[in-house]
Structure 1
Amino acid sequence: MRVTQGMIQQNSLRYIGSSYSKLDKLQSQISSGKKITKASDDPVVAMKSLKYNTQLSQVQQYQSNASQAFTWLENTETNITEGIDILSKVKELAIQAKNDTNGEAERQAIGVEVKQLKEQLLNIANTQVNGRYIFNGTNSDKPPVTDNGDGTYTISDTADVIVNISNNMTLKVNSDPKSAFGGTSESGQNVFEMLDSF
């Protein structure tokens, strides 16, 4: 077979055209930052890309959930610690009030201070973070402790807030208001009613 000048030219033009096509594809990949622009470019890579994007969005959601859970737990811990400090102060005042050297005026001053501490404890029990009551579980749009105005207080029953923090792992992020603030005396009073009585 004889190779003519025309055949050489045609092959050269075909290779140059093919090179331009490859160059165009590479420039498109560089400018978009993507190896493929449509699934037909490479179906295997396209499927892997979809799978990785789904996994990435799940991981990002788990990170967001974990961040929210951390904030919730951190605020809960801070408020429980403050509540413990308040009750420790009430204990000191109760011991001080029991001392017979105190007169009526001193005991009334202790009573006023205990009332203020009870109000602080009530505010702690009804703490809100981002508009949600952190001690009222899934019912976070309502306060967990309600002053009924007659010397009694109602503490909510709540359902737990469960957060997904990984594919097969969940975390309870709320504290039940009854276990946190609802201790009852032998007469059936909760902590707020006991402080009112005191």
Structure 2
Amino acid sequence: MRVTNNMLVDNFMKNLYGNLRKMDNIQNKMASGKKIRVPSDDPIGTAHSLRLRSDLEQLEQYSKNVDDAISWLNTTESALKNVGDILQRIRELTLYGANDSLTQDERDKILSEVIQLKGQIIQEANSSYAGRFIFAGTLTDAPPFDPVNPTVYNGNLGNIMYEYSPLNTIKVNVTGEEAFRVPNDLFQVLSDLENDLQTGNTANLSGVRLQEIDAGLANILKVRAEVGAKINRFETVKASIEEEKINFTNLLSQTEDVDMAKIIMDLKMQENVYRASLATGARVIQPTLLDFLR
């Protein structure tokens, strides 16, 4: 087979352009910092990258859920703490009011403070987080307790669940029923306390009323402890999610991002190959007749 000068030139140009394309590809990777610019660069790597990105998006959503749940629970814990403190003060006033030596005027002063404290408990029972009433069950758009008639609960017993992993959810809300109507309706107890103070019924004050207040206070403390345990659980989950996010981010970087030290070395090597191609082409392509005539 006769090898012509044109054939040599064509082969040289094909090799030269091939080397140029390789060098251009390396330079583009350096500029973008990414191994994969289009799916065809690495179909398997692209599929792996898409899965990792999907996993990271899911983890990010779980992280947001956990942050929201912790904020909800912190708001609940704060409200319950305040209610507990108020009930403790009401308990002290009840004991004081049960003293037979008090005049009715003195009991009326106690009554006035009890009424004020009851109003504060109603405010706490109508606490909200991000525009949602936390003790209303799933009816979070409206206050669960009417300040005029708080013995009527306007919420429901619905649970608000937060998902923090593919197969795990947890209830974050405490209903008004659970917090303020176990074992007795706390607002009815306070109304009865007001009546006992008005009538000077010291037997009730030192007996059944004090027992009901203690029971309500014990329930508040119990519910608050449960909320605190959930906060601790979510804090642990949050730390685990953050660790997973770091691991997946590192895996994604290994899949997508270039190793700058390696890519610089590859570029140097490709530049050498390109220069060698030019030098080889200059030697291989034979001089033309015009060159001989010069």
TM-score of the aligned structures, taking structure 2 as reference length: 0.60
Where 1:145 maps in the other structure, the secondary structure is coil
- Give a deviation string over 1:43-88, Cα, whole Å, max 9, x none: 1111111111111100000000011011111111111111111111
1:192 has 2:192 as partner: no
SS in 2 for 1:164: strand
Of structures 1 and 2, the one with the larger relative CO (CA 8 A, separation 6+) is 2
Letter paired with 2:157: T
For residue 38 of structure 2, what is the aligned residue in structure 1?
38
Aligned to 1:163: 162
Q: Which residue of 2 aligns with 1:179?
A: 178
Contact 1:139–1:158 under 8 Å retained in 2: no
- Relative to total residues, which structure has the larger strand share, 1 or 2? 1
C-alpha separation between the residues in 2 aligned to 1:101 and 1:26? 95
> What is the CA-CA distance between 1:114 and the residue it aligns to?
0.6
Letter in 1 for 2:75: N
Q: Count residues in correspondence.
A: 192
Q: Out of 152, 155, 164, which is 1:154 matched to?
A: 152
Long gaps (5+) in structure 1:
none
CA-CA distance at 1:11 after TM superposition: 4.3
**Aligned: 1:112 with 2:112:** yes
2:169 & 2:182 partners in 1: Cα distance?
28
User: For 2:36 and 2:7, how far apart are their aligned partners in 1?
Assistant: 34
Q: Which amino acid aligns with 2:74?
A: E
SS in 1 for 2:146: strand
In structure 2, stretches of 5+ residues that fail to align are: 194-294
Distance 1:103 1:3 in 2: 127
Inter-partner Cα distance in structure 2 for 1:134 and 1:22? 62
The 3 A distance-change label for structure 1 pair 83 and 51 is same
Which structure has the greater CA radius of gyration? 2
Higher helix share: 2
Deviation at 1:7, TM superposition (A): 5.7
